[in-house]
A and B are shown apart, each in its own frame.
Chain A
């Protein structure tokens, strides 16, 4: 019988939650790396017991931890992230040029085909790749060096590359997203990149439809339709059907189109999930009610899902990497909050239960479906 493993990164350590396919009873292991920010934990789709964790600290910098036994034991691997070539400058908060400085890894994206290859999205924004199971890291510097870098600027959380999506049908194509620069695509395996932000409008930048400068919060893809991407932007939920060459807004009847995570149903490529947040200045759920919104029509028409979630006195946020889906026939949907709760639905979002209520603030959630 299949089982599910949840990898949860928090402000004070990592947790591993496991359940059988019924997803009623969960075992919680951890915390691992207690006291450290664990920005992201993600397993290899090729070897699910190989898991990567980004362990980071304002005091002691970046560590990369790798487990080869499903999260039971961990070993530090390479943590040397050096930009390749001249670092150049991006915009600082006050608009002045600021040199690129490595701060932390926000996101790991293990290769779809090779367990020794993994990508890392980092702050200040760049993408690195390891092909030796994390011992060494090389920057794919065509992204940072493609020309618009001096116009990129940090969002409130830093200038981070937080989303990496591999095209399962075209191994040369990848998508990344950066706050606050926008979305980018490579069609040659990471050597060259181009901005793919046409159709985005951001009223908080001087030129609302500029080529770069958009604060993209998250992008999601269904593997059966890699030309269709769904985006949660700072404000606006967007969709493209031509691999990012053009975007259109699909916010529709959402109560607010600000938010962070976005994800797609594993078996229905037009079923999309978001968690609206009141505003960029308040960063809490609207009306003190925690509700996931689901569209079964690929956007525009959304339904609230709050059965089992707090519907009063709730003031949490859900961060961009803190939602995930499993791939069981009746899929599980999972998300974690800044209040330390981890919620799960075993029926595609119709009803929810709390798996944990008192974790540290949740930074990331990844679901693994195991045979």
Chain B
């Protein structure tokens, strides 16, 4: 069970409160978690990754276990603590703008 923490605007879009819990088959990766997240909440499609390219949007970041995973390849295996549900996977709206 992967715990995902979304920023406030995306929780509103997805109409969820608090953490999202996802069952991700196999060895969870950045890509498979995001795929599962968008499959459960289709309104998040295009809000985290661009359509088509599936590139991370520039002002979105991925953190876990005090590490910035934003620039890692999307087939990166997530840390064991995230896979075991001990630590959440964080989708973060970057601090930018005024």
Contacts and interface: CB of A to CB of B under 8 A. Distances in A.
A62 B46 CA distance: 7
A203 to B, nearest CB: 33
A59 B47 CA distance: 8
B63 interface: no
Main secondary structure of the interface of A (DSSP, over half): loop
A63 B9 CA distance: 12
B46 A80 contact: yes
A36 B97 CA distance: 13
Contact of B60 (A60, A76, A80): A60
B97 A58 contact: yes
Given A58-B97, A60-B60, A82 B13 contact: no
A61 interface: yes
Interface string B27-70: 00000000000000001011110111000010110000000000
B46 A61 contact: yes
Q: How large is the interface on B (under 10, 10 to 19, 20 to 34, 35 or more residues)?
A: 10 to 19
Contact of B9 (A57, A79, A80, A81): A57
Main secondary structure of the interface of B (DSSP, over half): loop
B13 A58 contact: no
A82 B60 contact: no
A82 B53 CA distance: 11
A59 B49 CA distance: 11
A335 B57 CA distance: 34
A147 to B, nearest CB: 25
A59 B93 contact: yes
Given A76-B13, A80-B51, A82-B51, A60 B57 contact: yes
A35 interface: yes
Contact of A63 (B43, B50, B96): B43
Interface of A: 35-36, 57-63, 76, 79-82
Interface of B: 7, 9-10, 13, 43, 45-48, 50-52, 57, 59-60, 93-94, 96-97
